[in-house]
Structure 1
Amino acid sequence: MNLSTLSIKRPVLAIVMNVTLVLFGIIGYTYLGIREFPSIDPAQVSVRTTYSGANADIIESQITEPLEKAINSIDGIRNLSSSSVQGSSSINIEFNLDKDLEEAANDVRDKVSQAIRSLPDDLDSSPVVSKSDADAQRILSMTVQSDNKNILELSDYAENVIAQRIETIPGVSSVQIWGQRRYAMRLWIDPLKLSSYGLTVSDVQDALLAQNVELPSGKLTGNNTELTVKTIGNLSTEEQFNNIIIMADNDKLVRLSDIGQASLEGENMETKMSDSGQPMVATAVIPQPGTNYLEIADAFYEEYENLKKDLPEGFKLNIVIDDTVFVRRAVTEVAETLLISVILVILVIFVFFRNWSMAMRPLIDIPVSLIATFFVMWLFGYSINVLTLLAIVLATGLVVDDGIVVTENIYKKVEEGMSPIEAAIKGSNEIFFAVISISITLAAVFLPVIFLEGFVGRLFREFGVVLGAAVLISAFVSLSLTPMLNAYLIKPGKQKQTKFYHVTEKYFLQMNKSYAESLRVFMKRKWLSFPILAGCIALIAVFYILLPKETAPYDDRSFIRLSVNAPEGSSYEYMDRLMTDITELINDSVPEKKVSLVLTSPGFGSSSVNSGRAN
């Protein structure tokens, strides 16, 4: 007793098996992330080191080169690049596609730990090793600006209010802040006054470390009470810093105010972000790997409306970047195509069967096969993207093939006078192995894609697996659910034909007659098959050479990014003027622009002041 016979004799079992497939598919779907394309980026690890006050040559020779020498011995490195600028070293390591991200990060950490002993002892901190993947890209960005607040106040609000509320959104990994200037106390020292007292900058630094500290102070214990002593030693105001005692010589005290002054300013004054010339700060949302971008976007917009209600007077919020629009549009278009393909399949079946009950049968077979595919996607850690949805669209026509073959054979035997159950058993048994062989053959065409190496192989791996899984699942559905439905839903006896059947029957008879005649003529000239085959192969080769080749078609997103690097040694003021000129040029040349974001020395990967970016 094969699967088809078992399903016909045990219809409840057949229904339970297929409902189980649907349930597993629905469960898998709820855990799938939604993104535009599969995750295909290679593992990337970065090493960043800061050494305040050191110039680029010292950074290169004492930090970057020792680290590069240690890291170069790691297996699987595809590309290694580094940047040494004033006070900062940055090394980016890109690994081969088959290298696991966690393994790559651990290898880099081990090598960096071994190389630390050869680095300067007075580094600001140990080298920071961080990993990144395809999901570590911003998908949404919101700006905050004000007509009466400075950048420090905007940065503080963005970091302590906006970023913290956005980070509570499920699926958000982190929130970057562009153009940020944190509050910091700057100590401006007059070198002439400093030398007149016989002091050095080290003396100021030692005094600051000694007097700006909060230490444990113990406790006071009495007969009935116990009190904890807290010494408030951290300085917070300009006045407190100005009163720091740098030197005490007999009755003479030298305070910071005698040799300079303390000023509450920005931690980094050499960074700026603006929109059409107006200073601002932007927050960028970084999603967690494998999350649903669309759910994050929906929650982000909801939080955006809540933030607007709670904004302090004078603040303005704007959403300037939303890459999920393209993801939503792509997914929606593919979903619409899927619906159209299902409708076309039903219409084609109706045209040939000329029976609506037979034509509507795929509405049961197709959803079971396609929904169950989501469970396979979840098992392999895939996501819902353009390529996996494209595979499901193509599978719509393939999964219905097996069902049509089974249904047609059963339907023909019912018309010959068999009972529906007998026709279902005999008809499905006749083509049982044919259906299996068809499905395995189709799956064998697509599944080998998983063995492709390189960028293209990673790109189409999900496509091949999803399509192959859908075809194999459809074989199970066609050999279990389809025979059972035909056995109990087809009416016994000769089927009543519709008016459409009688009108079109003569055309189908003529089609069969023409096919039989053309086949008879061709079989008398079998040698023609070889020239025809050779001609087809030649045409394939010609079109392959003539057609342009690219990994993916160009997609116009109405977005332009300019990365600007001024000559080495250019000041921040020069770079700021240059970016202002570029902004004016953009405004004059592209009047239809919606948003113009300009960042001067944004700090994307380095701390150089001779860089900028315009979006």
Structure 2
Amino acid sequence: MIERLIKFSLQNRFLVLLMAGGLFVWGIYSVRTSKIDAIPDLSENQVIVFTEWMGRSPQIIEDQITYPLVTNLQGLPQVKYVRGTSMFGMSFVYVIFNDDTDVYWARERVLERLNYAARLLPSGVSPTLGPDGTGVGHILWYTLDAPGMDLGEQRAVQDWYVKFGLQNVPGVAEIASFGGFQKQYQVTLDPNKLMYYGLSVPQVIGAIRANNNEAGGRKFELSGIGYIIKTTGYLQSIEQIGNIPLKTLSSVPVRVADVATVQMTGETRLGIFDLNGAGEAVGGIVVMRYGENADEVITNVKKKMEEVARGLPEGVKFNIVYDRSGLIQESVASISHTLVEEMLVVSLVVILFLLHWRSAISIVIQIPITIATSFILLNAFDISSNIMSLTGIALAIGVIVDNGIIMAENAYKNLAIRQAELTAQRDSQSLTDQATHASQPKPNGQVRQPVTPQSTGSYGNERT
């Protein structure tokens, strides 16, 4: 098989050169379109199910949420195993699929099973899927540099403006907000006043929920004019919540303000985000979608930040805390510099040791063609250009050159042996032809005698 391939290559040199040129051009295109990242994605193919039930202890979360979800998600196809974690007010279930399973197909299967498992959970609990990102998807962290603005206002700007703007960038799975206070209306009940007025906590909750609603009517015509009837009942201030009636005693309404204190405050936090020991900060984490080009996504996010920054309040700007693009560029530049150095050193060594420029060129040309072809295979198997893959290519240059040198030396050896055989055969054939020519008859019928060597004696010319 190898002999046939070598014979075919020697007989069709132009075709071989054309194929090599095509592979090189295809490889250059693959280099330009290859996904670039600093570190390889070795995380498992997983789908995260997140459930929130605030105020409950980890044991209750484990018994009523995590355990039912884990037992129902174990029967999914192509699932390796299911892991569950319970903590105060939250449950995380990690569904690990086989490595060759499409992540979006896996998410669809999990959603189908969650529709069935939701009936086993407490009322009001709704499990959701985590973002379609990987364990190394946190590609950029940023904070808002907003002097003079309190943490609640910064978090509002982040949640209601910045987050929506950056989520539109292609390749971004989620903008996870952190830090600050999430504003909310807080109603603090006085148990003594509730007992005095004969009220319960569910009655207060039901009254507030019923009054924070909007009802639609219908359209009717009067004097040729159409009117649409609706009632606007959304609560918009602390005073409106305090004036909600709960019950009537002796024709006097009992309001929420009579049994509770209503105030605007922040949601209860389990931790804070501190930046370099200088105090709390508000910001977000850009989570990259599965299988995207990290370098390209970071570049697009930075461009979008410039657009979003135009609409920020005066004095507010972005402060990038973690940016993987710097590590990506340094890693790729380092490996690229190493590849160039290896190609130059190898070329010089080959030329000095072989002392034959045609052989040296044939070996050196193999290096860029082989490297370009390697990127074709990287793209085919959806492997990004990272530290691991580029280092492997750099280490393989020695094998490429070694094979080229061995093949060149082997070719020279076989050519030398064949040349010696041809030379010996040619000399033997020449002597045979001379002998045959000498033994042929002359035109007058005499036979030409073969010439015998003569020697000269010490005392004169004598035939020996």
TM-score by length of 2: 0.75
Deviation at residue 346 of structure 1 after TM alignment: 0.8
Matches within 5 A, 1:221-232: 221=221, 226-232=226-232
2:328 corresponds to which letter in structure 1?
A: V
Aligned to 2:148: 148
Distance in 2 between the 1:410 and 1:146 partners? Answer: 72
Aligned to 1:242: 242
1:160-201, Cα deviation, whole Å (9 max, x unpaired): 333333334333222111124322222232223333222222
Aligned to 1:19: 21
2:284 corresponds to which letter in structure 1?
A: T
Given that 1:32 and 1:291 are in contact with CA atoms closer than 8 Å, whether structure 2 keeps it comes out as no
**Structure 1's 414 and 136: CA in aligned 2 closer, same or farther, altered over 3 A?**
closer
Given that 2:142 and 2:284 are in contact with CA atoms closer than 8 Å, whether structure 1 keeps it comes out as yes
**Structure 1's 316 and 201: CA in aligned 2 closer, same or farther, altered over 3 A?**
same
5+ residue gaps, structure 1, are 419-615
Aligned to 1:127: 127
Deviation at residue 141 of structure 1 after TM alignment: 0.7
Matches within 5 A, 1:64-213: 64-71=66-73, 77-78=80-81, 80-85=83-88, 87-94=89-96, 101=103, 105=107, 109=111, 112-120=114-122, 122=123, 124-130=124-130, 134-135=134-135, 137-213=137-213
Deviation at residue 363 of structure 1 after TM alignment: 5.1
**Structure 1's 399 and 199: CA in aligned 2 closer, same or farther, altered over 3 A?**
same
1:158 corresponds to which letter in structure 2?
A: Q
1:378 corresponds to which letter in structure 2?
A: N
Aligned to 1:273: 273
Q: How much identity, in percent, do the aligned residues show?
A: 28
Aligned to 1:47: 49
Distance in 1 between the 2:307 and 2:113 partners? Answer: 47
**Structure 1's 136 and 164: CA in aligned 2 closer, same or farther, altered over 3 A?**
farther
Mean alpha-carbon deviation: is it higher for 194-203 or for 217-226?
Answer: 217-226
1:41 corresponds to which letter in structure 2?
A: S
2:85 corresponds to which letter in structure 1?
A: S
Distance in 2 between the 1:69 and 1:2 partners? Answer: 60
Deviation at residue 273 of structure 1 after TM alignment: 1.8
SS of the equivalent of 2:274 reads strand
Distance in 2 between the 1:394 and 1:188 partners? Answer: 67
**Structure 1's 164 and 355: CA in aligned 2 closer, same or farther, altered over 3 A?**
farther
SS of the equivalent of 1:329 reads helix
Aligned to 1:62: 64
Aligned to 1:374: 375
Given that 1:175 and 1:285 are in contact with CA atoms closer than 8 Å, whether structure 2 keeps it comes out as yes
Distance in 1 between the 2:358 and 2:166 partners? Answer: 52
Aligned to 1:343: 344
The correspondence for 1:32, drawn from 30, 34, 52, is: 34
Aligned to 2:294: 293
Given that 2:74 and 2:82 are in contact with CA atoms closer than 8 Å, whether structure 1 keeps it comes out as no
Given that 1:242 and 1:262 are in contact with CA atoms closer than 8 Å, whether structure 2 keeps it comes out as yes
Given that 1:135 and 1:288 are in contact with CA atoms closer than 8 Å, whether structure 2 keeps it comes out as no
Distance in 2 between the 1:19 and 1:225 partners? Answer: 78
**Structure 1's 3 and 383: CA in aligned 2 closer, same or farther, altered over 3 A?**
same
Deviation at residue 294 of structure 1 after TM alignment: 2.3
**Structure 1's 363 and 223: CA in aligned 2 closer, same or farther, altered over 3 A?**
farther
**Structure 1's 379 and 97: CA in aligned 2 closer, same or farther, altered over 3 A?**
closer
Distance in 2 between the 1:131 and 1:141 partners? Answer: 16
Distance in 2 between the 1:83 and 1:148 partners? Answer: 39
Given that 2:134 and 2:289 are in contact with CA atoms closer than 8 Å, whether structure 1 keeps it comes out as no
2:274 corresponds to which letter in structure 1?
A: S
SS of the equivalent of 2:219 reads strand
1:87-142, Cα deviation, whole Å (9 max, x unpaired): 3333345566677655665665565554444333x2x3322344766355312111
Residues 1:258 and 2:238 are matched in the alignment: no
SS of the equivalent of 2:314 reads coil
Distance in 2 between the 1:317 and 1:236 partners? Answer: 31
Distance in 2 between the 1:143 and 1:252 partners? Answer: 51
1:256 corresponds to which letter in structure 2?
A: V
1:173 corresponds to which letter in structure 2?
A: A
Distance in 1 between the 2:225 and 2:414 partners? Answer: 98
**Structure 1's 363 and 171: CA in aligned 2 closer, same or farther, altered over 3 A?**
farther
Distance in 1 between the 2:382 and 2:305 partners? Answer: 31
Deviation at residue 34 of structure 1 after TM alignment: 1.7
Given that 1:22 and 1:368 are in contact with CA atoms closer than 8 Å, whether structure 2 keeps it comes out as yes
SS of the equivalent of 2:137 reads coil
SS of the equivalent of 2:313 reads coil
Given that 1:181 and 1:271 are in contact with CA atoms closer than 8 Å, whether structure 2 keeps it comes out as no
**Structure 1's 261 and 382: CA in aligned 2 closer, same or farther, altered over 3 A?**
same
**Structure 1's 159 and 52: CA in aligned 2 closer, same or farther, altered over 3 A?**
closer
SS of the equivalent of 2:247 reads strand
SS of the equivalent of 1:134 reads strand
1:177 corresponds to which letter in structure 2?
A: S
Over aligned residues, Cα RMSD in angstroms? 3.7
Given that 1:180 and 1:271 are in contact with CA atoms closer than 8 Å, whether structure 2 keeps it comes out as no
Given that 2:66 and 2:84 are in contact with CA atoms closer than 8 Å, whether structure 1 keeps it comes out as no
More helix by percentage: 1
**Structure 1's 231 and 31: CA in aligned 2 closer, same or farther, altered over 3 A?**
farther
2:83 corresponds to which letter in structure 1?
A: L
2:86 corresponds to which letter in structure 1?
A: S
SS of the equivalent of 1:29 reads helix
Matches within 5 A, 1:576-591: none
**Structure 1's 167 and 7: CA in aligned 2 closer, same or farther, altered over 3 A?**
same
2:243 corresponds to which letter in structure 1?
A: N
Aligned to 2:430: none
1:372 corresponds to which letter in structure 2?
A: T
Distance in 2 between the 1:226 and 1:10 partners? Answer: 86
